[in-house]
Amino acid sequence: MLVMGLVLCLVLFVTGKAAPGVDQTFRTSGKDLREQLQQCRRERRDLNRMLHKVTQGSRCSVCPGGWLWWRGHCYFFSVGLQEHLRWNESAEFCQRHNSSLAVITDSAEMEFIQGVMETFPRFPFLWVGLTDAKQEGQWLWCDGTDIQHYMPLTVEWDADHRDCADLRGGGSFFAASCEAYGPWACKRDS
């Protein structure tokens, strides 16, 4: 049912036609298009949240308890569920659970993770699977790909003693000491 709703929204958006009684105004000005895009993003975020709630039921669960399903993957966010860990310890936690620290492959996944971060108060940063420990200044994801492979990204505050990257609000990555304690996100196939 949720998938049908998403398809209907997409068809209505593409064709510009609405069902009777639906207030829909398409204008060509840049300001109106930006507002429509923001509204679509809010609706997509709300639909994703509803999808997460639906898939958490025992009959529909494709992910272990405490994990969230999104686009064929299961995600574990440690905040509120586990004590904070150092980057290497969080990577080991993920490995013990048949996953890895999150590798963010596109802007939609970034928005999903940022949306989850927004639901927790005082969520300063999140360990993800990005490090330059092998060679200073060469940031690689846990899967061995270069930071630029999936989408253009930069890591702020890079320095010799900061070899692990954390994700912060607004989709910003910052170099940090791998010895710092913090929350993390694991990702695995569902």
Digit-by-digit pLDDT tens for the chain (190 residues) are 444 454 445 445 555 554 454 444 444 577 788 888 888 888 888 877 776 666 555 556 789 999 999 999 999 999 989 999 999 999 999 999 999 999 999 999 999 999 999 988 777 899 999 999 999 999 999 999 999 999 999 999 999 999 999 999 889 999 999 999 999 999 999 9
pTM for the whole structure: 0.70
Extract the tokens encoding 55: 């898939």
Calpha distance 154→117 (Å, rounded): 20
Length of the chain counted residue by residue: 190
Q: Which of 185, 35, 7, 190 lies closest to 110 in space, CA to CA?
A: 185
Q: Which of 174, 105, 184, 85 is nearest to 146 (CA)?
A: 105
Residue 69 tokens read as 């399903």
